[in-house]
Structure 1
Amino acid sequence: LQIIKSKQYKQKDFLANYTSKSMNGKLLNSSSFFIKDENEKLIGMICVNTDKSKYIELEKTLQSSLISIQQFLNQDINVELSDDNTINENLYLTAENSIEQAVIETVGRLGKTNVNFTKIQKLEIVEKLYNKGFFELKDSIGRLAKFFNMSEVSIYKYLQEIKNNGEVNKK
């Protein structure tokens, strides 16, 4: 009725994407197309109304979620994480992944086949794993021995050397 009363149909052939309200109070997205005779007299209208209440509800949910995400992301990153404020935990799927990561950190790569590591490289790898608590895992000695293709006794000797020296001698 407002559209007819305002006589907007005289200047335009349609009105699109305006907001209206249904009888039960739901917000609608509306478009009206004017049907005119040869004298430009309004003889009918095609009105398309789409209930946008679900979209408004979805928008509110998304905004609420975004606020939660922003609060999480904007937490104070200066909160003390440990005594020296560093993050030193990596999450691995398997013990083998821990070994591979220590090898990459030491040697810079992980070959397709086991590389012939020097004793110093092996000691460095064992020390990295030791410092990360790798040897607290069940069968860790055996897994590392298999990876290095050497005996478990040799790994125990490396561990003893690391514990005695406190750090691998880099010669």
Structure 2
Amino acid sequence: MKANVATPVENTSRFIERYIPLVDFLGQSLRPNVEIVLHDLDVPDRSIIAIANSHISGREIGGPVTDFALWFMQQGNTAHVPMMTGYRAVNAEGRVCRSSSYFLRDENDVMRGMLCINVDISEWIHLRDVAAGMLGGSETTLPDKFDAFGSYPGTPLPAHADAVVSHFVDSVQPTVQDAGLPAAAPAAAAPTAPVGENGKEVITESLRSNIQNLIDSMLNTALSKQSIPPERMQKEERLAVVKDLEDMGFFILKGGITAAAKRLGVSEPTVYRDLVQVRD
């Protein structure tokens, strides 16, 4: 299938544009259940400049970065990690992908883009469920090879996806390719840092089709960590939300301050002051 390639968004760098033919090549070479996405991180609000097999996530050219990309821009850029493979991504319909990202850096070693591969494994998960049911629900009787192919860490997902993977075993962890960086470092501060059954924090990426969905998802994640609604929060609780959003890279997005102020029920200057405080 030919990549959905259009005129690059305004200000897209030539450094990133040269990877567009690779998206087309991979899209035609791999199976239809494999989505290839090229992000220009210089314009995170509309970073997608090429995409193949876009039916996997429903995203289009001009769509935003993911929560994982924002987190990495905020927390992991200085680590100089070249790639991360084998983490889980979930689209708006709750379909699960095995995802990998290659970080594109310029001659100054600054991360400028990401080439992402998302393999939809939802059908394999369904087959695994059927097999487990026929075998009495005992995962230990499943062939190791099949279990490894279809299993992802049993971590909490958004409500719409809980039923899909609530029974997952904690058998696969993201793999970090580094240059002397401990393998667990990026996963330790993942966007939502869910914890699997083995006690290790794992990564779950949300594939959102537009910037508003991304903003709402990230705000929901940060607010869900507090036990009370925004209108009843004290300053310390509000600061905790702002700190979580900052760690997630939320304020890299255009309109992040405005959106946070609206959901928290405070003024934009208040969010600015909170942000200055949590950055100190």
Question: TM range, normalised to the smaller chain?
Answer: 0.3 to 0.5
What is the TM-score when the length of structure 2 is the normalising length? Answer: 0.29
Structure index of larger Rg: 1
Which structure features the higher share of helix residues?
Answer: 1
- TM-score between both structures, scaled by the size of structure 1: 0.46
Q: Which has the higher contact order (CA 8 A, sep 6+)?
A: 2
